[in-house]
């Protein structure tokens, strides 16, 4: 079988790395070679930023109807080519079929939502104390926007880091995860086929540890959008802060799911299974801490364990498969270390903990404590911890005992408790009687504390990717 060799996408053309080097993009199911991709250098970043900057001179003046049309065509093309994108997500990052299909569907919605936003870049007429003056404010695009995207939902995040910047008249340089370069380059082809001008969207593939700082610190980059770990996010915030540069961070989570004594247990089990094990737990919104009130704990535990033990781990293209491979060896080692550390310090393994090739079985722990890594660090695998609590107050206090505040859920039929948890949970997103893993194109997506800074969405992005300009006209 011929292994494809992929180049950067810069200025509307395929462009090789300045040093001619490539790196191996592996299929995580068995670590076989999936593709070769250009290994980006600082010189490649410079070329991409310059191409985006040159394109901005005209793209920044494009008409709303033009940007709307390009985005809608991209959405239609993605819909028509959905099977191609599903295949890439399955083979490049180990997405089970249903997760891959859901990712494509969500990405189509993001593009269409961004297309609608092109009509909402509105300014204001302002009152003034100066006689004979007309005062107004207008919005202008920033210029070059950098996007740094992860491996776990690469299509969604590649499009999130580009659709709204493009909708608001900016140009983009995208640095995708080294574990998902082909997905990003497929998006570049999609945008080119949709009619976006050359240079408006650029992709440099490679390793963030090698070229991420070059992109973040480039003086022509006006804003950085990042999705990834809290550690790297804090590093980016420091670099941007030192340069008075805008940034948006969507980082890790240690997301609590609370089940109160009046909850509908079967629904809570279903939400917990999805929240804990969708895409083998490699989702920032995964339910890694489950707090259950004592009166329903035994019933929930029995049903939850039964469901976890029967999750499909077969062919990724089978609709019954939920558990796929962990993306790479470093991440597999992290999961194993977290489990080893927890069990050595007294945690009880209720199910799972074993590996089938590169797949970790759905794993449920109990008796975890604050001295264990798994209690405060993001494991990013199909692992969750069950906690029996005496009261709703205990559940709320424990749920809030983390600096990671991305998503949270509470299952209850008590409206008063639902409203209380919705208001008091320290998370950027709270779901009542729904799983922690949820997203829609137009909602303010993001977290608090070490989980993020800023929000991803059409409304916040209209402000994030533009700057106000005050204009006056003196007519007498």
Residues labelled as active-site residues? 250, 284
Q: What is the 3-state secondary structure (H, E, C) of the chain?
A: CCCEEECEEECCEEECCCCCCEEEEEECCCCEEEEEEECCCHHHHHHHHHHHHHHHHHHCCCCHHHHHHHHHHHHHHHHHCHHHHHHHHHHHHCCCHHHHHHHHHHHHHHHHHHHHHHHHCCCEEECCCCCCEEEEEEEEECCEEEEECCCCCHHHHHHHHHHHHHHCCCEEEEECCCCCHHHHHHHHHHHHHHCCCCCCEEECCCCHHHHHHHHHHCCCEEEEEEECCHHHHHHHHHHHHHCCCEEEEECCCCEEEEECCCCCHHHHHHHHHHHHHHHHHCCCCCEEEEEEEHHHHHHHHHHHHHHHHCCECCCCCCCCECCCCCCCHHHHHHHHHHHHHHHHCCCEEEECCCEECCEECCEEEECCCCCCHHHHCCCCCCEEEEEEECCHHHHHHHHCCCCEECEEEEECCCHHHHHHHHHHCCCCEEEECCCCCCCCCCCCECCEECCEECCECHHHHHHHCEEEEEEEEECC
């Amino acid at each position: 079988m011929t292994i494809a060799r992929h180049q950067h996408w810069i200025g509307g053309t395929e462009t090789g790395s300045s040093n001619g080097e490539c790196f191996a993009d592996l299929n995580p199911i068995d670590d076989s070679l999936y593709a070769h991709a250009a290994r980006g250098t600082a010189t490649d970043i410079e070329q991409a930023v310059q191409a985006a900057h040159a394109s901005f001179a005209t793209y920044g003046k494009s008409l709303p109807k033009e940007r709307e049309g390009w985005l809608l065509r991209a959405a239609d093309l993605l819909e028509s080519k959905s099977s191609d994108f599903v295949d890439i997500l399955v083979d490049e990052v180990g997405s089970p079929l249903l997760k891959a299909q859901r990712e494509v569907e969500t990405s189509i919605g993001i593009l269409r939502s961004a297309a609608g936003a092109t009509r909402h870049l509105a300014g204001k007429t302002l009152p003034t104390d100066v006689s004979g003056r007309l005062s107004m404010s207008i919005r202008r695009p920033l210029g070059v926007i950098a996007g740094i995207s992860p491996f776990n939902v690469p299509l969604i995040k590649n499009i999130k880091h580009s659709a709204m910047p493009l909708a608001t008249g900016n140009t983009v340089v995208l640095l995708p995860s080294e574990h998902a370069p082909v997905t990003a380059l497929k998006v570049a082809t999609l945008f080119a086929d949709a009619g976006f001008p050359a240079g408006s969207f650029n992709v440099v593939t490679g390793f963030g540890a090698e070229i991420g700082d070059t992109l973040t610190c480039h003086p022509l980059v006006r804003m950085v959008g990042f999705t990834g770990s809290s550690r790297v996010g804090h590093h980016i915030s420091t670099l941007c802060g030192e340069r008075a540069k805008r940034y948006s961070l969507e980082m890790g989570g240690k997301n609590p799911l609370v089940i109160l004594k009046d909850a509908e247990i079967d629904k809570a089990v279903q939400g917990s299974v999805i929240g804990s094990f969708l895409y083998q737990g490699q989702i920032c919104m995964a339910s890694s801490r489950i707090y259950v009130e004592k009166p329903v704990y035994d019933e929930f535990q029995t049903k939850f364990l039964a469901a976890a033990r029967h999750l499909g781990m077969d062919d990724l293209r089978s609709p019954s498969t939920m558990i796929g491979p962990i993306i790479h060896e470093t991440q597999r080692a992290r999961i194993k270390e977290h489990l080893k550390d927890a069990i050595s310090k007294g945690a009880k393994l209720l199910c799972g903990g074993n590996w089938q090739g590169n797949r970790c079985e759905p794993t449920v722990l109990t008796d975890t404590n604050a001295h264990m890594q798994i209690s405060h660090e993001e494991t990013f695998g199909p692992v969750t911890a069950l906690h029996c609590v005496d009261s709703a107050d205990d559940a709320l206090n424990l749920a809030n005992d983390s600096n990671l505040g991305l998503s949270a859920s509470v299952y209850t039929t008590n409206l008063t408790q639902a409203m209380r948890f919705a208001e008091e949970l320290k998370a950027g997103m709270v779901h009542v009687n729904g799983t922690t893993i949820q997203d829609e194109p137009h909602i303010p997506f993001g977290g608090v504390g070490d989980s993020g800074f800023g929000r991803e969405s059409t409304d916040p992005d209209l402000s994030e990717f533009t700057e106000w300009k005050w204009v006056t006209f003196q007519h007498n």
